[in-house]
Structure formats: structure tokens, C-alpha cells
Amino acid sequence: MTRRDLLRMIGLSAGGAAMYQAMSSLGFAAESPYKGSPKLQGAPRGASVLILGAGLAGMVAAYELRQAGYKVQLLEYNARPGGRNWTLRGGDTYTELGGETQHCQFDRGLYINPGPWRIPYHHRGLLDYCKKLNVPLEPFVQINYNAYLHGANAFGGKPQRYRTINADYRGHTAELLAKVAQQGKLDAQISKEDQAQLLDSLREWGALDKNYAYAQGPSVSNRRGYDKLPGGGLSAKPTDSQPLQLHDVLNSQLWRNLTEGEIFEFQTTLFQPVGGMGRIGEAFGHELQGLIHYNAKVTGIQQDEQGVTVSYVDARHPGSTQKAHGDWCICTIPLSILSQIPMNVSASMANAIGAVPYAATVKVGLQFKRRFWEEDEDIYGGITATDLPINNISYPSSDFNSKGKGVLLGGYIWGLNAYEFTAMTPEERIRKAVEYGSQIHPQYKTEFENGIAVAWHRAPFTMGCFASWSDELRAKHYGNLCQIDGRIALAGEHVSYLPAWQEGAVTSALDVVTRLHQRMVAGGAA
């Protein structure tokens, strides 16, 4: 059982509060501690900080330190800023480990976000930097009641609308609870007055009729949809739909997906930058122009009492080694890469760096000749969940009802399926995503044009998607990872209780620049 499955089951059986508590203990739901930019006053004259990695953590650190008066330089492996904050557009080229090169063929204005793709409303730090950098945002649709829930063995493999399963699961559950209340089996638990209120609430919540039954009728159709929609003129009268049987709803297992929008980080409102998530990294890169040295592959990190010296080569054409120096160093390189770089830190820090595995995920972007999900199926944004290896299909939350082509996230693949897809060539990943997706949308077969697939374990700058902490690993290594080790400190989503989220990178960077500044102002040495 995956943690995602566990959390869904907790949410369904015990409610959102219990699920949030469970997520917090697993390090997946901690609310952002962001209270505004740190006040870094009194920077020592001429003090310099060398930052490794121009992802969000590195660039937030550079932004704040430069504002405070420090000399800052960043070394970045890629030829662009942002790290995992990344958008692939037509004309882009991406080469993964093993040498497979993909040329993105998307039409102008279309894109896919291989890494982060949504921003929760309570990720205040990231939202604040979007405001500072003038990055426009638009809503990201997480839950769409007209999208699908799909199981290969449920209802003969025919996808069901989210609203249908949601309405029928709630309605049948409400009817069962109403029967229990009416039979007096709750007398020992609640008063007669509360029982009356409970019955009223169940009728409203479950769309029950006057007899507290979940049965075909206008109120039920108003939740789950009609067989024939109301209209105008002589043919205006709607036809009510027939609810699915409780047994069929339960056996389908589709109810497992009903809590997705209840999870703290997926509750509305969510956002996305206009034009792709990579707009944030691009805006930071523009703001820090001249400070970032691109195509710099770090090969060694050495510190002494005077500072930190970093060796690096040109990532495109490795040749002669170059050196960069800073009085202090903030390293945001993912642990999956950092663990392979020679570095003289304490044994406790070295052990922590080498202990944390990185999750395997794969994302597949698919371009189609037309936006058939809108034109044929009235799906505008949102996510279809499936038990097929692709896990879900996400529909674009922009350019609604527009003419022309469109790009779907044709698969966000994790767990064992991600390892299987990672072992494929990019062409095979795309072909399999189209093959699986056509079981939900038959239009795939005639409308598909081209695609691109990013397997994060083959990404040369991360070798994994995000740090995969366990309670045991946190107890043993997290504190050591957060320490300022001599003149070196780490930052990134891996040094946070918000793993996989950009807010983790932002708040981690702000925490470390604050502590590092305090040490430098106090005249602290290694």
C-alpha cells in the first residue's frame, strides 16, 4: 500500500482532520511558516556567499543575500535557471542520462511542466515571490466534477464522471445513516433533538427524498447529472438519471479518489503561473542576471577556515577544471547528486547526505490536434484518476474553449510503475501513455500528434524527483542535514517538511540565510 492510498483511506474512514494529522506526521502537510522576507541587517562589509544550484532555493537565497549587501555568485548545472521549476515548450531540447535526446514539438503557446505544476493558496512564500517578481497567476483546477474516475475492472472499464461516483457514494451513505437514526440505534449517543438535526442534514447532504431514500429524482439528478439535460422549447423537460447501486459503487473502488480535493495541499484555491511554472524560475533568473554562472557542473567542494572553494567544469564540454570561492557556501544541489561529489564535511552531515533516497516519477506531455476533452466531453481543467499505470490525466487550466490544438498531462506516474516507465525509451513512454489514455478517451487514437516524456531518475541534474523521507530517516538525519557545517549550509525541498513542494525550497532557503546571516554578524567562524 502506498502512502497516497493510506491517506485516502484515512480520509474516507476518519475524516479530513485525521488525514491531515497523518499527512503532517509523514511530512506531507505542514503549513508554510512563511511570515515575510527576513530582515538581514548589518551584513559584514565585503562578505561573500557562494551558492550551488540556481533552483528556487538557491535563487531565493541569492535574492535575499544580495538585498542585504552580500557578494553573491551562483553555479548552475543547467543552461537555464529554475532547476525543477521548469516548463518544456516547442523548440526546447532535453537530453536525459543515457543520451536520449527529445525535441519538444509542441505548437506555440503550448507547454508541459515536467516538475511542479500547481501552487496551493497557503504556500505564502512562493506566492509572495511571484508578486515581487511580477509573475502573473491563474487558477489551477484540481477537482472537476465532470472529469472521470476510471478503473480498468470497474463498470466494464467505462470511465465514470466524478460527480456521479461522488453523488452516489454520498447518497447511499446518507441513506444508511438515516436508517440507523430512524431505527433509534443512536439514542444512546445523541439526543432526540440532535437526531432530528442529523436527519435534516443527511437529507440535504445526500440528496435524499422525503422518506430519506436515495432514489431517482430531480434532487439526485441535480447532483449526479441528468440522462437528458434541461433545455428550452418543446423538448425542454429533463430526464432524471438512475443512481448506481451501492454494491457497484463500493466494488468499483473508485471512491478511493473522492478525497483528493480534501487533502490540505489540494484544497482550492490552487494557482499556476500564466504560461507555465517555469515563468517563476525565468523571472528569478532575470532578476539575478549576471550572478548566475550556467553550465557549471560541480566536481568538488572543499572548505577551510578562510572559506569554501568549489571546483567545476563546463557541463556541456567537460575539460579544464575551474574554481569559485566564497567566504560561505549555501549548497542546494539535490542529495542524490551531492552524495556523489567529494566534500569535506562532518561525518554526521555526510551520512545524512547519503541516506535520503529520491522518489521516481515520470511525466508525459501529449499534444492533440484539437481540445476534444472540451469539445466532446465538456471537461475544462481538472484531473481524471485511473488505476492504469499512468495514474492520472490532467487537463489544461488555461485557454478554455479556444480553437486549435492542446496539450494534456497524459500521465503522472509514480511508484513501481515509474521505475518501469523510466526503463523505457522516451518514445516507448509516450506510446504507452497514449495506449493507456485511449482506454479513457478513445479520441487519443486519431487526435494524438506528438509528445515528450521526462523520467526524473534519468534527469542528470537531480537523478530523482524529490527527497523521499521516512519518519526513521528524519529522526536520525534531518537535524544533522540542517546544521551549518563549518562554512557550508544546505537548502532545498529536501531540507524541509514540505518535500516535493516549491514552498519547501523557499522556506528552507529563508531559514538558512537567516541563520547564516546571524552567524556572520556575530563574527562566528567555522
| Secondary structure (DSSP) of 493-523 | GGGSSSTTSHHHHHHHHHHHHHHHHHHHHTT
* Grid cell listed for 438: 485511449
In this predicted model, what pLDDT tens digit does every residue of 148-183 receive, in sequence order? 999 999 999 999 999 999 999 999 999 999 999 998
485 beta partners: 488
Residue 446 and residue 363 in one domain: yes
Whether 409 maps to a domain, the answer reads yes
Total count of domains within the chain = 4
What's the Cα-to-Cα distance from 73 to each of 38, 62, 302, 518, rounded to whole Å? Answer: 20, 8, 17, 20
Question: 420: domain CATH number?
Answer: 3.90.660.10
Q: Using 50 as the pLDDT threshold, list the residues of the chain that sit under it.
A: 1, 11-27, 526
Range of 428's domain? 88-146+268-276+359-458
Region of 275 please: left (phi>0), alpha (psi -120 to 50) or beta. Answer: left
Question: 52: domain CATH number?
Answer: 3.50.50.60
Report the distance separating Cα 500 and Cα 116, nearest Å: 8
Residue 423 and residue 477 in one domain: no
In this predicted model, what pLDDT tens digit does every residue of 196-206 receive, in sequence order? 999 999 999 99
Residue 272 and residue 374 in one domain: yes
Contact 268, 124 (CB under 8 A): no
Report the distance separating Cα 294 and Cα 81, nearest Å: 8
H or E stretch covering 482: helix 479-482
The CA-based dihedral angle spanning residues 104, 107, 109, 112, taken in that order and rounded to the nearest 10 degrees: -40
Cα 191 from chain centroid? 45
pLDDT at 187: 83
pLDDT at 444: 98
Return the beta strands (E) in 199-260 as ranges. Answer: 226-228, 239-240
The CB-side HSE value for 90 (13 A sphere, CA atoms) comes to 12
The model carries a pTM of 0.92
pLDDT at 33: 85
Place of cell 437514526: 181
Whether 102 maps to a domain, the answer reads yes
pLDDT at 5: 55
Residue 272 and residue 393 in one domain: yes
pLDDT at 523: 83
Whether 38 maps to a domain, the answer reads no
